[in-house]
Amino acid sequence: MNLAIEAWREKVMAFDRYMEDIRGEEQGPGHGRSVFASEPVDPYRTDDPALNGLYEVVGEGAEILDVGGGAGRFALPLATRAKRVTVIDPSAESLELLRTRVAEFGFTNLTAVEDRWEEAEVPSGDVALCSWALHHVVEAAPFVRKLEESVKDRVVILEMMATPVSQMAPFYERVHGKSLTPLPGVQDLLNLLWAMDIFPDVTMVRPEIPVLGTDLDSTLEKLRRMLAVEEGTDADERLRAAADELLEESGEGLTVRGASMRRQAIVTWRPTRGGSSNGVPN
C-alpha cells in the first residue's frame, strides 16, 4: 500500500483506539463530531470565512452532495443558493437536528440520508462537499474515489491544519494520562491525494481563534462529552484542574492558552474520466 495512504490509516486508527479505551467500542469511529454538530448556526451568516470561501468555489444553482454534513453547518447556508442539497451522514442525532433546523427555516430543497457514504445510494450532484469529516475515515482513498464518481463538476474538501479534536489533546493527557495521536490534517490530505494522482487547487481560509466555548460551564460540558468524563468523578476533578490551568479568555470566548490560530484549507478539483484528476480552474 502507498505510504501516504497507510500513514493516513494509521493516524485514524490510533485515534479511534484511544477513544475506544475511554468510551467503549460501541461508540464507533467519528464520535465527538456531534459535540460540534449540535452547536446552532445561522444559515444567513456573513462572517464565516470558511463558508464565504465555499460560496466562491461552489457558486449558485448547484446540486450539492454534502457528505458527512451532520446537522447542517454548511448545508443550511448553501441551501439558500443551491438548487438542491443532499446531506449524507450516519449520525441519527445530527440528522434529527438538521431536520429540525430545515423545518425551522422553511427550506424545501434540502434532504437528509442517514447512511455511511461508503454504502449510500444517492443521485449524483454537481458538487460533492466533505467538510471536517474525512479525517475520521480510515479507508480514505475509496471514500474519495466515490466522491469523484458521484459528481458532474467538482469535489470540494474543507479541512483543517489541526482538527478540532486537537484542542482536547492537553486535556486528554491530564485526565487520562496518555498522549493523543492527532487526526490527519491538510498536509496529510494533500499527501493522500497526490498518492492517488489527484492534484487539487488549495485555497487557505482566513485564520480564526480556536474557541472552545463562550463560558466555563458550557466549555466543561463539551469537554466532558468529548473525553467521556462524568461530572463529580475523580476524572472530572482532573478536568477542572486542567481547565483552570489551560483555558484563557479571548475576545471570542474561551481558548486553550498558547493555541495556534485555526487554519483551514478548501481543497478542490475536477475529476477526469481516466481516474486521475487535476485542479485546473475554469
Kindly write down the DSSP assignment for every residue of 138-168, as one continuous string.
Answer: SSHHHHHHHHHHTEEEEEEEEEESS-GGGGG
Q: What percent of the chain has pLDDT over 70?
A: 90
Instruction: Give the integer Cα–Cα distance in Å for 152 and 128.
Output: 9
At residue 193, φ and ψ (nearest 5 deg) are -65, -40
Q: What is the mean pLDDT of residues 45-64?
A: 95
Whether 37 has a pLDDT exceeding 80, the answer reads no
The length of the chain, given as a count of residues: 282
pLDDT class of 8 with cuts at 50, 70, 90: very high
Q: Which three cell numbers stand for residue 239?
A: 478536568
**CA separation, residue 203 to residues 52, 118, 139, 208 (Å):** 12, 27, 25, 15
pLDDT grade for 282, boundaries at 50, 70 and 90 = very low
Phi-psi region of 72 (alpha: psi -120 to 50; beta: other; left: phi over 0): left
Q: How many whole angstroms separate alpha carbon 220 and alpha carbon 229?
A: 10
Q: What's the CA gap between 71 and 153, in Å, rounded?
A: 25
What pLDDT, on a 0 to 100 scale, did the predictor assign at position 278?
A: 54
Q: Are strands 277-278 and 198-199 parallel, antiparallel or unpaired?
A: parallel
pLDDT of residue 217: 95
Q: Greater confidence, 196 or 277?
A: 196
Are the CB atoms for 220 and 239 separated by under 8 Å?
A: yes
Please give the residue that has the higher pLDDT: either 278 or 229. Answer: 229
Question: Under a CB-based contact definition with an 8 Å cutoff, are residues 189 and 159 in contact?
Answer: yes
